[in-house]
Chains A and B, each alone.
Chain A
Amino acid sequence: MIKIIKYFLIDIIKNKVILGLTLFFLVTSFSLLYLDENQTKAVLSLMNIVIIVVPLISMIFAGNYYFNAYEFKEVLLSLPVARTRIILSEMIAVSISLALSLGLGLGIPALIFGAGSTILYLILITMVLSVACAAIALLVVILSREKSRGLGLVLLAWFYFSLLYDVIIMTLLMNFSDYPLEKFVVFLAALNPIDLCRISMMLKLDISALMGYTGALYKEFFSSLIGSAFTLGTMLLWILIPTLISIRIYRKKDL
């Protein structure tokens, strides 16, 4: 299986898209850290980019690669290799390349400018988020047959996770403001990997505001050991569950 992952990785690097992405992250992160004399502000701008751009890029990249490597997979399938291995290898290769691209692109400037633990945490959680988004995208494209429709659905998924979901939370909060929804909202946020990452990053950045009455509850929960385990565990679930479903479908799929 390691061999298959290697082939996928070589294919991804040959593609050069990932190199472009790394360069993009490198330039963005470098310019933000270089231009903003106030590092907290730079971290905030970086976070805004990470929350919107990284899920989009990760999902499109993963979805696009699935279709681009279609012929390559056909060749592999003609060989005596289990389907599970092929799709799992592809997922792992895509994850590794995305995580590495983000880690290097955001990490190198951060290390050059002597960033603190906050920014390193931000990079780490971004890497996990990108893998989760790739897993979701993979599931979406496996469910669809054509490339155009698949990528359209991927875009829709991104739109749902980064915007629509928050609209739903907001509507809920507005309509049920008479009820104690705080705990329920924490649970809801966990059902969206982007929200979950955003909240766990936010608690590192905006502690003072979040120490308000409700914020105290969020902070208490997310910064406790149980909360950290919860965040990490949920993120892992967001990677594992879509991948497992993808494998199940791919095994029986009529290619």
Chain B
Amino acid sequence: MGLMLWCTAHFLHAGSIRVGPEQGITSISGATQKALCGDTIWIESGLYKEGNIVLDKSLTLMGMGNPVLDGEKKYEILTVGADDVSIVGLTFINSGYSAMNDFASIKIVGSRYFKIESCTIRNSYFGIHVSNCSYGKIWNCSVEGTPDQEQNTGNAIHFWKCDHMEVFNNLSSGHRDGIYLEFVTDSRIQKNTSTKNIRYGLHFMFSHQNSYQHNRFLKNGAGVAVMYSHQVDMIQNEFQDNWGPSSFGILLKDITDSRIIHNKFIRNSAGVFMEGSNRCVIDSNLFQENGWALRVQASCTDNQIAYNNFMGNTFDVACNGTLVLSKFNSNYWDRYKGYDLNKDQFGDIPYNPVSLYSVLVEQNSAFLILLRSALTVILDEVEKAIPVLTPIDLQDLSPVLTPYPL
């Protein structure tokens, strides 16, 4: 308590310390030891190899002309364990790798009100590792790794047990997961780009009441996977080019009461894969040129799939059973062959988005060899007339005839 008061008092007349090859103080560790709470340490450009730097006071580290902190592939570079820390404009390279510890370029533990801004991180094990924190900001950072095996790389931006985080405008690539959240609540993830990560572009578990907006997830090994969370908002994100044997635009596993609105799913093996997800709203999204636009497992209930555009997908919807408890309404399907005689903008006959052939492929993927053959076309037409294998309940009762302007 005494320390806190003293620190607060000191903020009122914060000092500044300069570190640089030609300054009195040449090492960052030296400066942090000398500094008092609330001070700003200005770090001039240069290469700093200091092993592990520990920050246990409320300080601001400010880079001038891009200083580089090198971990020499041995050390965790910066470890922060204090509140009110700002780290601005630094470059971190070559953090250590360990199978025992989660070495990171910047590790933040138990901090409140921290801010990491405009930092560049290259060749790290973990990029930014945040645990047990609240009210943190990570802005305009770029974290890039050199893709190796999944085992040898950590996550680019990693959160564990945090709340009220703001992750804005960052770039993450070449790591295991681009952005990883576990037990994180009330956070906002916006305008980030996550690409070419070995596993997932975005991965979260047990992270409730978070919002993801305007992010782009491109060419990640297995797309995006979100699990065991509720009240998640995913709005205006782009999921593109996630190709692979088990790759998804987005995998929703046990996600409940969430909203997926105005997103774009383009050229993914599966646009959205849903499993055990209930009461989700999938609204006004664009599904274009995916292998499967939507794969809804029978374990999903009460989802609303409405006002989406389905264009140029190989399969519109696939499901693994005949029982479907989700509702499809007023979507645009480019395969729909209905008509609108009463001119109310909705097709007069329902659209059945699951074709017989997609059911067969779901049962045995070797059937893919017959894709687009005359036989499958005929089978699909027959099935449309007399449905036997396809789920009859899965229907869009009011398909629209013109695509929505999304």
> How many A residues face the partner with a CB closer than 8 A?
38
Nearest A residue to B290, CB-CB: A208
- Least CB distance, A164 to chain B, in whole angstroms: 9
Indicate if the CB atoms of A212 and B377 lie closer than 8 Å: no
Task: Report the stretch among A11-19, A78-86, A94-102, A199-207 that lies at the interface.
Answer: A199-207
Task: Report the stretch among B56-64, B144-152, B241-249 that lies at the interface.
Answer: B241-249
Nearest B residue to A164, CB-CB: B375
- Least CB distance, A58 to chain B, in whole angstroms: 15
Partner of A169 from the list B247, B289, B369 (CB cut-off 8 Å) is B369
Q: Does A90 contact B (CB under 8 A)?
A: no
- Least CB distance, A44 to chain B, in whole angstroms: 8
Partner of A47 from the list B291, B292, B366, B372 (CB cut-off 8 Å) is B372
Name A's interface SS.
Answer: helix
Given contacts A40-B312, A209-B368, A218-B368, contact A198 B245 (CB under 8 A): no
Indicate if the CB atoms of A209 and B374 lie closer than 8 Å: no
Indicate if the CB atoms of A185 and B366 lie closer than 8 Å: yes
> How many B residues face the partner with a CB closer than 8 A?
33
For A213, what are the chain B residues with a Cβ–Cβ distance below 8 Å? 245-246, 365
Q: Does B269 contact A (CB under 8 A)?
A: yes
Given contacts A40-B312, A214-B366, contact A208 B373 (CB under 8 A): no
- Least CB distance, A51 to chain B, in whole angstroms: 6
Given contacts A38-B312, A177-B364, contact A211 B291 (CB under 8 A): yes
Indicate if the CB atoms of A214 and B368 lie closer than 8 Å: yes
Indicate if the CB atoms of A177 and B366 lie closer than 8 Å: yes
Indicate if the CB atoms of A170 and B375 lie closer than 8 Å: yes
- 25 A-B contact pairs sorted by A residue (CB < 8 Å): A48-B372, A48-B377, A162-B373, A163-B374, A163-B378, A166-B373, A166-B376, A181-B366, A185-B366, A185-B369, A189-B369, A195-B373, A199-B369, A202-B371, A207-B243, A208-B267, A209-B371, A211-B243, A211-B247, A211-B291, A212-B365, A214-B365, A214-B368, A218-B368, A218-B369
Question: Which residues of B come within 8 Å of A, CB atoms?
Answer: 243-247, 267-269, 289-292, 311-312, 314-315, 334, 363-378
